[in-house]
């Protein structure tokens, strides 16, 4: 049974009258790997700073092990932080940086030495102990920052984009390493990233944030498969988001077709957002009652093709291992579990159509009318 | 190449107004005042003046420490307040420097002398007159007053550059406020402390005006002696020798200090 460790209750944060966190409530369990995920400026760092004690919320309460800790200073919290910009001490070498916390808590020097050396091993920086931290690469500095926090064996570790400066390969290695450490030492991790892949791969729980609000809390699988609104669907992975109408339980209509789905509990004929993941779409020969589409662009992605198709005046993205030529007409088949229905939200209309969306696909010709529709 | 050309005017300036005069000082120091022949007798006279050297260094060192003790908290405050206040406060620190050095020192005489403003005020309370001037204390006061801005300015510049995230990181790792200061803020201020001490110590150790106006007969400083060799005693060779010795002593002091501080701090922080 999971035990509650940290709880944020109706926490709001304002800077100069500007609301940065808007009434956030969040429970973090002991030994959990929880990730705050969201675009830049959504308040991830601010949330961490409130938990770490570097910022006092404008309103709301923070609990640790059941006790309210709003007024407990950072140095009295059993929490350590890996800062977004490392914040290593430039006047100390790698060894002394890592030993810093142990020495503050007056551990005997042999014990300090043992733990620092062990930590250097874990972050693969053996032999670097006497280097000046300013002479290290970004990735090495990041690993020193991780070691400096971990060596104290805190109950909770806050990590603010700890792998941001690493290249792909090292990033993957460190992800595995962090996950292993977290499980071995049974530390609660609160992890911040704006990389959705990283969040899905590492976390027990993902908290998706935008504009200072929590959009969804859930396991990686449920966040991916059952996004609660268009923002989450769009932010986590690729998705086609269409306007639909829920005709009745387990039946949704879009583009004039009715489809079986797995969702229920909507009002009859309620307008909804429908999410279809690009990899869930089956391509079939055209005709025979299937939705028909024209291929407008194909991009080779290594293991699959990003295939853009027009369905009416709506652009879809399909990920398929089969190659289709531009101009081909294809049929689109959708299984019930390929369709996910969401309530309309403030984010409806903002996402979904691949003609007006996404910097990743800006090699596609822009549709100025589509842009205007967003406003 | 171009960059080197840009340094040209400065190099010329250095040669004409620093290196050549230095050469002349060295020449005088090693020649006899009567015959003009090579001699070490000027330098050998250091024995007589050694107590005065020590007094100068001692008083300058005390003034330096007082400047540091007063200046550090001031610099720390200026660095931690908001932009507008910071500009106002640093202007306040610099303000006395807009006044003539001579005037500032004379003002202290007017304040402190037996018939001065302070003693006059005290006499109304039936106290005094107290011997506030013509002693070591008054000389130190004059040094501190005149050179304090030279301590505060480099300190403030360095403290301002310390990333507040580092202090947060220290707190995160278990440091209370005092420990943050001792383990992070203070070590990172060392470059400022070193340049502050240098900028106060060097002019203070060679000053002559302050001791003449605020000091008594027992507080002659080496600067006074050197000055008198050129102006009244007219023995420029001895004056040159004493300046040379003073210069070497100062260089040794500054060198030792820089050496010790650069062990603790990254080289990349040093140029600050
Ligand atoms: N001390 C502060 N004073 C004023 N505004 C602040 C302060 N700290 C953060 N903000 C603002 O709060 C908002 C959220 O900032 P925060 O650092 O939490 O974002 P983030 O999600 O961590 O973004 P990123 O991914 O870029 O790090 C931003 O608009 C930022 O400008
Ligand atoms: Mg951040």
> Which of these, A5, A147, A162, lies nearest to A77 by C-alpha position?
A5
The structure tokens 């986590």 sit at: A236
- pLDDT: is B219 or B80 the higher one? B80
Q: Is A132 exposed, middle or buried (0-12, 13-18, 19+ CB in 10 A)?
A: middle
Cβ contact, residue pair B174, A101, below 8 Å: yes
Average pLDDT over residues B151-156: 94
Cβ contact, residue pair A83, B165, below 8 Å: yes
Is residue B261 scored above 80 in pLDDT?
A: no
Cα–Cα distance, A118 to A157 (Å, whole number) = 18
**A89 at B interface, C-beta within 8 A:** yes
pTM above 0.90, yes or no: no
Please state the φ and ψ torsions of residue B240, each to the nearest 5 degrees. Answer: -65, -40
When pLDDT is cut at 50, 70 and 90, the band that residue B1 belongs to is: low
| A 122-141 residues with CB < 8 A to B | 132, 134
Atom of ligand 1 nearest to the CA of A16: 4
Q: By three-state DSSP, how is residue A143 classified?
A: helix
Position B2 scores a pLDDT of 64
Q: How many CB atoms lie within 10 A of CB A252?
A: 25
For ligand 1, the distance from its centroid to the CA atom of residue B218, given in whole angstroms, is 63
pLDDT, tens digit, for every residue of A15-67? 998 999 999 999 999 999 999 999 999 999 999 999 999 999 999 999 999 99
Cβ contact, residue pair A80, B176, below 8 Å: no
Cβ contact, residue pair B171, A75, below 8 Å: yes
Average pLDDT over residues A140-152: 93
**Pair A121, A44: CB distance under 8 Å:** no
Atom of ligand 1 nearest to the CA of A212: 14
**B183 at A interface, C-beta within 8 A:** yes
**B174 at A interface, C-beta within 8 A:** yes
Cβ contact, residue pair A89, B172, below 8 Å: no
Position B263 scores a pLDDT of 55
DSSP string, chain B: -HHHHHTHHHHHHHIIIIIHHHHHHHHHHTB-TTT--B-SHHHHTHHHHHHHHHHHHHHHHHHHHHHHHHHHHHHHHHHHS-HHHHHHHHHHHHGGGGS-HHHHHHHHHHHHSTTSHHHHHHHHTT------SSSHHHHHHHHHHHHHHHHHHHHHHHHHHS-HHHHHHHHHTT--HHHHIIIIIHHHHHHHHHHHHHHHHHHHHT--HHHHHH--GGG--HHHHHHHHHHTS--HHHHHHHHHHHHHHHHHHHHHHHHHHHHHS-GGGTT-
Domain ranges of chain B: 49-269
Tokens of A133: 């931290």
Which residue has the CA at smallest separation from atom 12 of ligand 1? A20
Cβ contact, residue pair A132, B269, below 8 Å: no
Mean pLDDT lowest among A243-247, A313-317, B156-160:
A313-317
Candidate of A20, A49, A190, A193 to mutate for ligand 1, largest count of ligand atoms within 8 Å of Cβ = A20
pLDDT, tens digit, for every residue of A246-257? 999 999 999 888
Ligand 1 pocket list (CB less than 6 A):
A 15, 20, 38, 40-46, 84, 194
pLDDT, tens digit, for every residue of B93-143? 988 888 888 888 888 988 888 888 888 888 888 887 888 888 889 999 999
Closest ligand by atom to A39 CA: 1
Domain B49-269 in CATH 1.10.3720.10: yes
Average pLDDT score, chain A: 89
Give, in order, the Cα–Cα distances in Å from A368 to each of A243, A295, A310, A326, A355: 20, 20, 16, 22, 9
Element (H, E) at A141: helix A138-150
Candidate of A45, A52, A86 to mutate for ligand 1, largest count of ligand atoms within 8 Å of Cβ = A45
Chain A hits for B265, CB-CB cut-off 8 Å, are: 91
Cα–Cα distance, B85 to B80 (Å, whole number) = 10
Closest ligand by atom to A43 CA: 1
Closest Cβ–Cβ partner in A53, A101, A132 for B173: A101
What domains are defined for chain A? 4-224 (3.40.50.300), 239-363 (2.40.50.140)
Mean pLDDT lowest among A45-54, B134-143, B154-163, B208-217:
B208-217
Position A192 scores a pLDDT of 95
Chain A hits for B184, CB-CB cut-off 8 Å, are: 89, 91
> Which of these, B218, B236, B219, lies nearest to B227 by C-alpha position?
B236
ipTM: 0.81
Pairing of strands A67-68, A59-64: antiparallel
Within 13 Å and on the Cβ side, how many CA atoms surround B207?
32
Position A361 scores a pLDDT of 43
């Amino acid at each position: 049974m999971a035990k509650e460790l940290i709880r944020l209750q109706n926490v709001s944060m304002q800077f100069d009258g500007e609301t940065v966190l808007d009434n956030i409530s969040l429970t973090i369990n002991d030994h959990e790997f929880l990730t705050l995920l969201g675009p830049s400026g959504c308040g991830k760092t601010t949330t961490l700073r409130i938990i770490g004690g570097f910022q006092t919320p404008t309103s709301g309460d923070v609990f640790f092990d059941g006790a309210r800790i709003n007024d407990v200073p950072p140095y009295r919290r059993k929490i350590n932080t890996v800062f977004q910009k490392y914040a290593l001490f430039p006047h100390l070498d790698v060894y002394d940086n890592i030993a810093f916390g142990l020495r503050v808590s007056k551990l005997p020097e042999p014990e300090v030495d043992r733990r620092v050396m062990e930590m250097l091993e874990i972050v693969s920086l053996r032999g670097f102990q006497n280097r000046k931290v300013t002479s290290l690469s970004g990735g090495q500095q990041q690993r020193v920052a991780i070691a400096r926090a971990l060596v104290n064996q805190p109950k909770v570790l806050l990590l603010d984009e700890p792998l941001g400066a690493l290249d792909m390969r090292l990033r993957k290695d460190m992800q595995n390493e962090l996950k292993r450490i977290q499980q071995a030492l049974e530390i609660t991790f609160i992890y911040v990233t704006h990389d959705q892949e990283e969040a899905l791969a590492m976390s027990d729980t993902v908290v998706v944030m935008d504009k200072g609000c929590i959009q969804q809390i859930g396991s990686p699988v449920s966040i991916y498969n059952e996004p609660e609104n268009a923002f989450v669907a769009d932010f986590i992975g690729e998705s086609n988001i269409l306007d639909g109408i829920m005709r009745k339980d387990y039946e949704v209509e879009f583009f004039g077709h009715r489809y079986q789905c797995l969702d229920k509990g909507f009002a009859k004929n309620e307008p909804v957002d429908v999410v279809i993941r690009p990899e869930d779409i089956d391509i079939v020969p055209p005709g025979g009652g299937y939705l028909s589409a024209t291929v407008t662009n194909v991009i080779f992605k290594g293991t699959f093709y990003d295939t853009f198709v027009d369905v009416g005046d709506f652009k879809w993205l399909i990920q398929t291992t089969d190659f289709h030529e531009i101009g081909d007409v294809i049929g689109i088949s959708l299984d019930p579990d390929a369709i996910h229905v969401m309530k309309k939200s403030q984010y409806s209309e903002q996402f979904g159509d691949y003609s007006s969306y996404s910097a990743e696909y800006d090699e596609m010709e822009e549709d100025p009318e589509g842009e205007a529709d967003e406003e | 190449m171009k960059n080197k050309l840009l340094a040209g005017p400065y190099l010329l300036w250095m040669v004409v107004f620093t290196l050549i005069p230095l050469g002349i000082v060295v020449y005088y120091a090693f020649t006899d005042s009567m015959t003009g022949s090579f001699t070490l007798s000027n330098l050998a006279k250091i024995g007589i003046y050694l107590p005065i050297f020590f007094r100068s260094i001692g008083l300058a060192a005390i003034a330096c420490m007082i400047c540091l003790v007063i200046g550090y908290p001031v610099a720390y405050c200026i660095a931690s307040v908001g932009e507008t206040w910071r500009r106002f406060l640093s202007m306040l620190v610099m303000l006395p420097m807009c006044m003539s050095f001579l005037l500032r020192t004379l003002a202290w005489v007017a304040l402190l002398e037996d018939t001065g403003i302070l003693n006059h005020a005290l006499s109304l309370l039936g106290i005094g007159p107290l011997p506030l001037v013509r002693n070591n204390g008054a000389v130190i006061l004059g040094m501190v007053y005149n050179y304090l801005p030279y301590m505060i300015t480099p300190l403030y510049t360095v403290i301002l550059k310390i990333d507040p995230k580092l202090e947060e990181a220290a707190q995160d790792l278990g440091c209370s406020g005092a420990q943050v200061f001792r383990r992070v803020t203070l070590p990172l201020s060392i470059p400022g402390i070193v340049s502050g001490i240098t900028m106060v110590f060097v002019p203070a150790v060679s000053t002559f005006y302050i001791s003449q106006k605020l000091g008594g007969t027992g507080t002659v400083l080496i600067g006074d002696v050197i000055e008198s060799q050129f102006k009244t005693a007219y023995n420029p060779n001895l004056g040159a020798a004493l300046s040379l010795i003073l210069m070497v002593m100062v260089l040794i002091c500054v060198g030792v200090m820089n050496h010790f501080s650069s062990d603790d701090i990254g080289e990349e922080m040093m140029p600050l």
